[in-house]
Structure 1
């Protein structure tokens, strides 16, 4: 029986269908390192179609389109993640990726807040997801990677050119949860048009092509991993080799294989820091030249999600044999907005480059004046363009607050244009209640709310403490009740059941009284000084 492909006429899908039709039948789209499997573009297309059928069947026998129903999915980094997400898109649903390392309360929050009606889960997480799906009132759970059931009976003989169905690219496509100054994470809604604009911009700027092969080690519940490293690769017809998680030893071992067939690597500063440390501490001196030589296979190595410390930048250049990391700037609401240009000589220390194709940016003074043309003048960075998100899910007031009357998104980041290079430099956050640690943007208010439920804590303030590896660490200043005692280990044990691991404080200072100003407000910039000693 011939497989009839039925997919939407959205650019992402027409691209992968194009690759499936013209490329060699064995050209890998996805290499799943954990599973030890390789999947061609034809295989990927066939499996997306098959899971799409299962999704529509679960939604109702007469349903032809999920009509923006939210479909959450919990899959490890690998082939099943890709099939799940693209199947949701192809069926007209809104993809809600869940983080495999989040504790149950955070997963339940996302399910409830997104109002998801279907959950896709990898068989490894079936038991975990069943409990929270039941608590969220979700009855439809689809299990993928079941050893007894494959997606499709794909082979090269039964693959057929697709039939294409219309779908408006203004429809909502994905909800990514990101922390904000109001506490609990907000759902950032991107449309298909937003995602396409982000992908085309990056493919153009970073010169993706179908000969590329990227080693993917990033989490897949944030834009960096989903768009930059995965979707761009598939759009370009490249091969995405997916590791289940980052491990410094595994990455170096993969790079030093004789194949030398990788061309791109994208990571956060913390990952580069760990790679540097492993190189120095664990790779024998006589092998280090081979490790250095292995970096020459990459035409592009990117760092983002938080500021790249200059010592890490310089150390990487040294041990990699001259690779200058390309820095860029982005966030969940805009995808990527700024990037250094492709040429190495146009990558400047401590800066994030210039606007990406089709992205508009401006700097606004605290008095509401456009100061974009003024060099060395700090202002809030505003962004406009087809890449900018549609809304915060079910939060119209929060959405309205983050946009100007003339349609610019207010990033909350302070930036300036350098006098010499004429490129953008990020100076910091307007709000001290947002902490950037590793690749994560963390709400201090959310952590404070959870820690205040501790029976011995009377007051708590969470601050970001500068750190050369993580960008910032999460620090807690607490006032205890009735002369109670609390150490960092006890605090972390309490928090781990309530917060994702990256939100759990790594620093603690117990004080007798929380310093406040005449208005009774805590000055967090002053509180950071508690961690100076």
Structure 2
């Protein structure tokens, strides 16, 4: 059995090997804040090749088997994701915030053949593995430090192979596994590296969840593809971020940051109430030296954008993307070219069009209005960046593509001005709520609320616009006779059942939900219940 160190001849690995050969050994690829350890590109490619052999366990190729993994955000995540890819498998990153039944769903729906887990998650994943009847392998922090150090050989692997499954909540049914190929991931990564001008001297502080496209591609694969340094926090912490920026020294200063609007809101609040005047001055001075700050995954409220510019001297770059195609649109890199309220133009190799209904209300978006200005249309995307399919859901996949091969995003957009910058007007459906950078299915929450012992007869969950969270999850309930329900009781009951960010933070009780002739709740009529001053 051969134990030679080898990696696939895919662009990501070719770049990493090149960085290992050309960059100084003291140049970090990954800095793991939780373990206080730093790893060079040489360390990374060697360890990935070693773990590839461990995962293969004598085999030559996983041939597309799905491998689920869960660990604290850090070096271990990068190592496992890359090792799964190098072994010919499909990486299925699990959300560390999910309760056991949601983790089980992700594992079983993706038909994973193996779970890799950090000891922190051994108990819960042991239960999941037992129920799913698959193997669980546990590796601790010390297992990440491998002794073999060598530049791996490169072997051929098809770039069209499936590489990644991340789960997205649809407006109906359970979350779907979005399957992306190595080609799609490469195109997404290369486009952003080019558009945002990544280079080896960059250093990003990574604070985003690593089971979503924002954290996986934008803030992780892009810097590693470019030979930059990724410094990873296990989880976002206001004070930790500010103190890291303030204390940065020449050679290890952070100069790139990416976050959701909620994080910027929290940083603003901590700057105002949690930092001394001297630290505020130091923070502003540090931020002013950044090369790039990006906001995404939810609409950026104007007050947050303006306040952040005052504090940091940075104009946040906004972009637009989804799990299904990565980033599709981006504001220009040049600050002077960015227009507030827009998300710019298509990224390299990405085609974006706007389609309107030729007959209003027909539901058929058959009129191309891409070249028009101030005319709303459904956003559709095409290109090698687009996902392959929803795992084991051919009908759902077919439904999301037009006859001529364009992916239907479900968002409505509009173009402005001579340059035709795009703006996102919102979802064509009200059943997807974007809160704190997460995409949440209202229908899933409704199902959980109705199945819980809360005395609820009927329920509708809606998103209510909020400066800090983007949207808050709000529930409108009709209770059974003689039943009462308060917000605290509802939240306490739901927290063990669904991820914390899905639990409603607002609650209203009504006698009856407004419904149309087809029996569907007219949710837009419910939002004013939470926004009215009355």
TM-score scaled by length of structure 1: 0.96
**Equivalence for 1:44:** 44
Q: After TM superposition, give the deviation of residue 129 of structure 1 in Å.
A: 1.0
Question: Does the 8 A contact of 2:64 with 2:88 survive in 1?
Answer: yes
**Equivalence for 2:136:** 141
Q: Does 1:171 align with 2:161?
A: yes
Cα 1:81–1:258 shift into 2, 3 Å? closer
Question: Does the 8 A contact of 1:183 with 1:443 survive in 2?
Answer: no
Question: Does the 8 A contact of 1:108 with 1:136 survive in 2?
Answer: yes
Aligned length: 521
**Equivalence for 1:228:** 218
Question: Does the 8 A contact of 1:252 with 1:291 survive in 2?
Answer: yes
Q: After TM superposition, give the deviation of residue 22 of structure 1 in Å.
A: 1.3
Question: Does the 8 A contact of 2:45 with 2:151 survive in 1?
Answer: no
Q: After TM superposition, give the deviation of residue 209 of structure 1 in Å.
A: 0.7
**Equivalence for 2:386:** 388
Give the Cα separation in 2 of the matches to 1:134 and 1:54: 22
Give the Cα separation in 2 of the matches to 1:365 and 1:48: 47
Which secondary structure does the structure 2 equivalent of 1:365 belong to?
strand
Q: After TM superposition, give the deviation of residue 531 of structure 1 in Å.
A: 1.1
**Equivalence for 1:201:** 191
**Equivalence for 2:207:** 217
Question: Does the 8 A contact of 2:46 with 2:150 survive in 1?
Answer: no
Question: Does the 8 A contact of 2:3 with 2:53 survive in 1?
Answer: no
Question: Does the 8 A contact of 1:465 with 1:473 survive in 2?
Answer: yes
Where does the alignment leave 5 or more consecutive residues of structure 2 unmatched?
359-365
Give the Cα separation in 2 of the matches to 1:306 and 1:469: 11
Q: 1:257 aligns with which of 240, 247, 255?
A: 247
Question: Deviation string for 1:426-480 (max 9, x for gaps)?
Answer: 0010001111112111111111111111231110111111111111111101111
Question: Does the 8 A contact of 1:3 with 1:160 survive in 2?
Answer: no
**Equivalence for 1:310:** 302
Give the Cα separation in 1 of the matches to 2:352 and 2:144: 47
Question: Does the 8 A contact of 1:50 with 1:151 survive in 2?
Answer: no
Give the Cα separation in 2 of the matches to 1:289 and 1:90: 46
- Structure 1 segments, 4+ long, off by >4 Å, are none
Question: Does the 8 A contact of 2:42 with 2:150 survive in 1?
Answer: no
Q: After TM superposition, give the deviation of residue 269 of structure 1 in Å.
A: 0.4
Q: 1:328 aligns with which of 319, 328, 335?
A: 319
Q: Does 1:244 align with 2:238?
A: no
Q: After TM superposition, give the deviation of residue 150 of structure 1 in Å.
A: 4.8
**Equivalence for 1:403:** 401
**Equivalence for 2:106:** 110
Q: After TM superposition, give the deviation of residue 183 of structure 1 in Å.
A: 2.9
Q: After TM superposition, give the deviation of residue 143 of structure 1 in Å.
A: 1.6
Give the Cα separation in 1 of the matches to 2:519 and 2:262: 37
Question: Does the 8 A contact of 2:76 with 2:144 survive in 1?
Answer: no
Which secondary structure does the structure 2 equivalent of 1:369 belong to?
strand
Which secondary structure does the structure 2 equivalent of 1:520 belong to?
coil
Which secondary structure does the structure 2 equivalent of 1:105 belong to?
helix
Which secondary structure does the structure 1 equivalent of 2:18 belong to?
helix
Question: Does the 8 A contact of 1:412 with 1:430 survive in 2?
Answer: yes
Give the Cα separation in 2 of the matches to 1:113 and 1:359: 29
